[in-house]
Structure 1
Amino acid sequence: MLIGPFANGSAVIIGGLVGAFLGTRLPERLRTALPMTFGLSSIGLGIVLIVKIKSLPAVILALILGAAIGELIYLEKKIGLFGSASKKLVERIAPAKEGMTAEAFQETFVAILVLFCASGTGIIGAMTEGMTGNPSILLVKTIMDLFTAAIFATALGYAVAVIAIPQLIIQLCLAAAAGLIMPLTTPAMMGDFTAAGGFIMLAAGFRISGIKLFPVANMLPTLILVMPISWLWSTYVPF
C-alpha cells in the first residue's frame, strides 16, 4: 500500500489550512522573508539536481521543445485559471485574503503548484516508492511541504490546500507507472530526467524569489520528453 503520496497530500492540506488561519497573525516581515527563503531553497535543490546530468545537449533540447509545447498550448495560463477557480471556490467557505491582486495571486500560485507537484524530489520519491515500496523520500518532502504550504497560505489563503489534489493524482500515477517505466530506463536517462527537473526547480526558485518571472508551468512538458530524447541521443549520437 502506498503511504508517501497520501502523507504528502495531507501535509499540504494541513499546512495550507493552518497557514491560512494564521494569516495576518504572523508578522509581515516573516511572511515576506520566508517565501524568499523557500525560493532560495528551490534554487539550491535545482542546482543539486542539475549536476546529475549525463547529456547536456539532450536535456537542453528537451527543455526547448517542452517550453515551446507549453507555450503553444497555453499551459501556464490554464494552470493559472485553475488557481483562480480554486480561490473562488474556497472563498465561498472562507473569506479572501486582502492585499494581493489577482495577477500576483496567479503568478505565485503557479510557481508553488510547480514546486509542490513537479519537483524532482516528489517525482523521484513517488517512482521510488512505486518500485521498492520505500516511502522515505516522500516522507522527507512531506515535512518540507508542511511548512512551505503554511507560509504561502498566509498570503494566498485556503487555495493552497487545494494543491494537494493534483499533487496526489500525479504522485499516485507516477508510483503506479513506475513498475512499467523504471525497467526501461538507464542510469543516463534517469540522470537527464533528474537534471531536467532541476532546471525547472531552478526557474521556480527564481520566480518565487522575485528575481525573474520564468514561465515554469510551460516547461513541464520537458519532463515527458527528456527520457526519450536522452535515449535517442545516447543511442544515435555517441558523444
Structure 2
Amino acid sequence: MVPGVGTLVNVLAVLAGGLVGLLLGNRLPVRTREVVTDGLGLVTLLIAGTSAMAVLDVDLSDAVGGSAPMLIVLGALLLGGIAGSLLRLEQRVESLGGWLQRALAGDRGSVERQRFVEGFVVSSLIFCTGPLTILGSLEDGLGNGADQLFLKSALDGFAAIAFAASFGWGVLAASITVVVVQGSLTLVGVALGGVLPDAHLAAVTATGGLLLVGVALRLLRVRDVPVADLLPALVVAPLLVQLVVAVR
C-alpha cells in the first residue's frame, strides 16, 4: 500500500464526521452538546489511562531498569514542557486557530471566534496526540500497512461528529493538523526504514497517555492544561530512554 493512504482516509473521516456534526449541531440543545463533550472527555480519560500504563511495559523496564520508567516520563514532561513553553507552542496553536477562523469563517464576533479556536485546538490535540497517531503513521511510512490508521480514522470520524456538534467549524479545520502531523510522521517512517525499539515506543506511548489526560481535563472543564506546550515530551521521552540505555 502506498504510504500516506492511511492519513488520507483519516482526513476524509474527520471531514465527513465534522460535516455530519455540523448538520446535527443546529438541532441539538446546548445541554445535549455539553453532555456529549463530557462523554468524550471521560472516554479520552479512559484511553489516556490505558496508554499511560505503558510505563509498566516489560521491555521498557528491562532496558532502563525497574525504577527508571517513571523518572523518564517525568523528565520527558518537565523538559518537554519547558521547551514547549519557551517556544510558546500553545499560543502559536491558538493563533493558528484564530487565523484559520478569520480565513475560513470570517469575523463573527469574539464568542464565535473562541468557539472556533477551542474546537480547532481540542480536536487537533485529540486527533494527533494519541499513540495510534505515532505508531500508525510510522507503520504506514514503513510500508507495513495502514490498519492502525484505518482504526484511528473510524474513532476520529465518530469523535468529529460529537466535536463539530459542540464546537462547529473548528473541528473541520483540525484536518489540516492531521495532514501536517501524520504526514510528517509518515515521512519519518519512510526515512527510518525501521521502527523504534519496543522500549522507546513504550516511553512515547506512556508520555502520550499523560498528554491525553490533559486533553480530558480540558474537555471536562476541570483545568485548561496547555497540552500543546507539552508536546515536545513525545520527542524527549525516547531520547531519555536512549541516554539511560547508553549509560547502563
TM-score, length basis structure 1: 0.89
Residue 160 of structure 2 corresponds to residue 158 of structure 1: no
Match of 2:219 among 208, 211, 236: 208
The Cα of 1:151 is off from its aligned counterpart by 1.6
Residues 78-118 of structure 1, C-alpha deviations (whole Å, 9 max, x = no match) = 100111112222224xx95x994644653453222111122
User: C-alpha offsets along residues 183-238 of structure 1, whole Å, 9 cap, x if unaligned?
Assistant: 373211111011111111111111111122211110011112111111102321x4
Are 1:149 and 2:160 an aligned pair? yes
Cα distance in 2 for residues equivalent to 1:156 and 1:88: 16
State whether residues 117 and 170 of structure 2, in contact with CA within 8 Å, keep that contact through their aligned partners in structure 1. no
Give aligned-pair identity as a percent.
26
**Which region of structure 1 is more displaced relative to structure 2, 56-65 or 129-138?**
129-138
- Alpha carbons of structure 1 residues 156 and 89: separation in structure 2 relative to 1, 3 Å: farther
Counterpart contact for 2:101–2:117, Cα < 8 Å: no
Once the two structures are TM-superposed, the CA of residue 135 in structure 1 deviates from its matched residue by 1.3
**Conserved in 1, the CA contact under 8 Å of 2:34 and 2:166?**
no
Q: Are 1:16 and 1:159, in contact at CA under 8 Å, matched by a contact in 2? A: no
Give 1:123's aligned residue.
134
**What is the rounded CA distance, in whole Å, between the counterparts of 1:165 and 1:134 in structure 2?**
22
Over the residues paired in the alignment, what is the CA RMSD in angstroms? 2.2
2:225 counterpart of 1:225: no
* Whole-Å separation in 1 of the counterparts to 2:43 and 2:15: 21
- Residue 61 of structure 1 is matched in structure 2 by 75
Q: Distance in 1 between matches of 2:114 and 2:175?
A: 22
Partner in structure 2 of residue 193 of structure 1: 204
> 1: distance between equivalents of 2:153 and 2:164?
16
Q: Find the residue that maps to 2:194 and give its secondary structure.
A: helix
Q: What is the match of residue 50 of structure 1? A: 52
Going from structure 1 to structure 2, the CA distance change for 1:89 and 1:18 (only over 3 Å counts) comes to: farther
What is the aligned counterpart of 1:89 among 92, 103, 109?
Answer: 103
Indicate the SS of the match to 2:98: helix
User: Tell me, which stretches of 5 or more residues in structure 2 are unaligned?
Assistant: 61-68
Partner of residue 70, structure 1? 84
Q: What is the TM-score of this pair, normalised by structure 2? A: 0.86
Q: Which of the residues 112, 118, 121 maps onto 1:110?
A: 121
Q: Counterpart amino acid of 2:177?
A: P
Secondary structure of residue in 1 paired with 2:72:
helix
**Contact 1:111–1:217 under 8 Å retained in 2:** no
In structure 1, give the amino acid aligned to 2:105: E
Name which of 15, 38, 43 aligns with 2:17: 15
2:188 is the alignment partner of 1:177? yes
Tell me the residue number matched to 2:39: 37
What corresponds to 1:79 in structure 2? 93
Range with bigger deviation, 112-121 or 22-31: 22-31
Q: CA deviation at 1:46?
A: 1.1
8 Å contact 1:63–1:196 — kept in the other structure? yes
What do the CA deviations read for 1:148-174 (whole angstroms, capped 9, x no partner)? 112211232222111111211211221
Distance 1:108 1:67 in 2: 22
Change (3 A) 1:26 1:20: same
Question: 1:24 Cα shift?
Answer: 2.0
Q: Which residue in 2 is equivalent to 1:26?
A: 28
2:225 counterpart SS class:
coil
Preserved contact between residue 141 and residue 185 of structure 2 (Cα < 8 Å): yes
